Amino acid sequence: MRTPIIAGNWKMYKTIGEAVELVKALLGGLDASLVKDREVLVCPPYTALYAVRPLLVGTAISLGAQDVHPEPQGAYTSAIAPGMLVDVGCSAVIIGHSERRQYFGETDASVNKKIGAALGVGLRPIVCVGELKAERDAGQAEAVVGGQLAGGLAGLSAEQMLKLVIAYEPVWAIGTGDTATPADAQAMHAFIRSRLQAQFGAEVAEAVRIQYGGSVKPDNVDELMAQPDIDGALVGGAALKADSFLRIVHFR
Ligand code: 13P
């Protein structure tokens, strides 16, 4: 059985004060009996990590970051090293989000390097894949996602793969309210699992969690999470408010 993992990607939202307020509201509203069998993660902007960390220690919510640089240190103005994320209390990091790919030149090769660097310091990589609308319309969705997986996960061992989470986020569903149907999402998740099986074997493929992301909301999370190969959600907009994120975390 795969432990469901619900993560909030706050993107470039929330001042320090707002982040602290949101974390306090989340902790206050969390139903311990409902979340004992699931993992909950928040990924605030870098500037808020240090402020929210002490609030989260010893709670059911863990801390993640939204990106990482592959080098351990160096003259890389603006970048944040893997060890720095560990230092500030992160246990996970989102890698290869489509916004990083679209606006910051992230490639499958850089994703691959970042995964290795994150694993090297014990961070859990949440590796994002997903196709554009035009690619889906052209019947290329599986080819695109398959390519992202092949490039991003190249050279990983089965043991390393077990530490990863994959997030399938169709780009056309992000921030649009246009969620993939549960059936379409399930089909892609099954495809991703088949690719993991081909590369890493059946045991690994069965164990790796695959999140869905793209307009996950309180009113669609239950149906998405009911799909056999959907093991969690990576939530953007609906993670910015306590009531909507809590309802998603408390999916039935
Ligand atoms: P939305 O939930 O706002 O569509 O964003 C999804 C996402 O990009 C999470 O990483």
For the domain that residue 149 is a member of, what is the CATH number? 3.20.20.70
**What DSSP string describes 206-241?**
HHSEEEEESS--TTTHHHHHTSTT--EEEESGGGSS
Q: Report the nearest-CA residue for atom 7 of ligand 1.
A: 236
Expressed in angstroms and rounded, the spacing between residue 75 Cα and the centre of ligand 1 is 31
Q: Which of 94, 165, 215, 219 to mutate to test the pocket of ligand 1 (most atoms within 8 A of CB)?
A: 215
Ligand 1 pocket: which residues have CB below 6 Å?
9, 97, 169, 174-175, 213-216, 234-238
Closest CA to 215 of 244, 186, 252, 251: 244
pLDDT at residue 226, rounded to an integer: 98
With 0.95 as the threshold, say if the pTM is over it: yes
In which element (H, E) is residue 157 found? none
| 3-state class percentages of the chain: helix first, strand second, coil last, to nearest 5 | 50, 15, 35
* pLDDT score at 1: 85
Query: Looking up tokens 């669609």, which residue turns up?
Result: 220
Do residues 174 and 215 make contact, with C-beta atoms less than 8 angstroms apart? Answer: yes
For residue 65, the CA-to-ligand 1 centroid distance in Å is: 15
Return the number of other C-beta atoms located less than 10 Å from residue 106's C-beta: 20
CA of 10 to the centre of ligand 1 (A): 9
User: How many structural domains are present in the chain?
Assistant: 1
State the Cα–Cα distance between residues 80 and 71, nearest whole angstrom: 9
Count Cα atoms within 13 angstroms, Cβ side, for 249: 28
Active site residue 97: yes
Distance CA 25, CA 34 (A): 17
Catalytic residue among 131, 169, 189, 250: 169
Q: Which of 97, 106, 135, 189 is catalytic?
A: 97
Mean pLDDT in each 10-residue stretch from start to end of the chain (252 residues)?
97 98 98 93 98 97 98 98 98 98 98 98 98 97 98 98 98 92 97 98 98 97 98 98 98 94
* DSSP per-residue codes, 6-66: EEEE-TT---HHHHHHHHHHHHHH--HHHHTTSEEEEE--HHHHHHHHHHHTTSSEEEEES
Domain of 34, in residue numbers: 5-249
Q: Choose which residue among 235, 247, 248, 249 to substitute to test ligand 1 binding: the one with the highest number of ligand atoms within 8 A of its C-beta.
A: 235
- How many Cβ atoms are within 10 Å of 82's Cβ, its own excluded? 26
Q: How far is the C-alpha of 74 from the C-alpha of 217, rounded, in Å? A: 40
Q: Tell me, what DSSP letter sits at residue 180?
A: P
Quote the CA–CA distance of 133 and 172 in Å, as a whole number.
Answer: 5
